[in-house]
């Protein structure tokens, strides 16, 4: 569940200071080359999904990437 809580200690060992700004889910369909960002984290609330999409677009340049405030 809480990926941040698992990753943050390792990031701190590398000298980074991290803060979780929210969460959500990512649905990845490699066959159709589609990614959907949605939902929220029970513990951290909703991230700004538009920012997440912009980051994903840099790596997945040939994908259709969308986001919504839907919970499912």
Please write the tens of the pLDDT for every residue from 14-54: 999 999 999 999 999 999 999 999 999 988 999 999 999 99
Residue by residue, DSSP assigns 36-47 as EEE--BTTTBB-
Determine the distance from the C-alpha atom of residue 31 to the mean position of all C-alpha atoms in its chain, rounded to a whole number: 20
Is 21-68 CATH 3.90.740.10? no
More confident residue, 69 or 64: 64
- SS3 sequence of 10-35: HHHHCCCCCCCCCECEEEEECCCCEE
Amino acid 20: pLDDT: 93
Q: 2-35: buried (b, 16+ CB within 10 Å) or exposed (e) per residue?
A: eebeeebeeeeeeeeeeebeebbeeeeeeeeeeb
pLDDT at res. 1: 56
């Amino acid at each position: 569940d809480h990926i941040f809580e698992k990753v943050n200690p390792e990031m701190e060992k590398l000298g980074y200071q991290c803060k979780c700004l929210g969460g959500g889910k990512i649905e990845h369909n490699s066959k159709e080359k589609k990614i959907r960002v949605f939902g929220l984290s029970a513990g951290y609330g909703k991230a700004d999904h538009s920012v997440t999409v912009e980051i994903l677009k840099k790596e997945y340049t040939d994908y259709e990437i969308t986001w919504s405030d839907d919970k499912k």
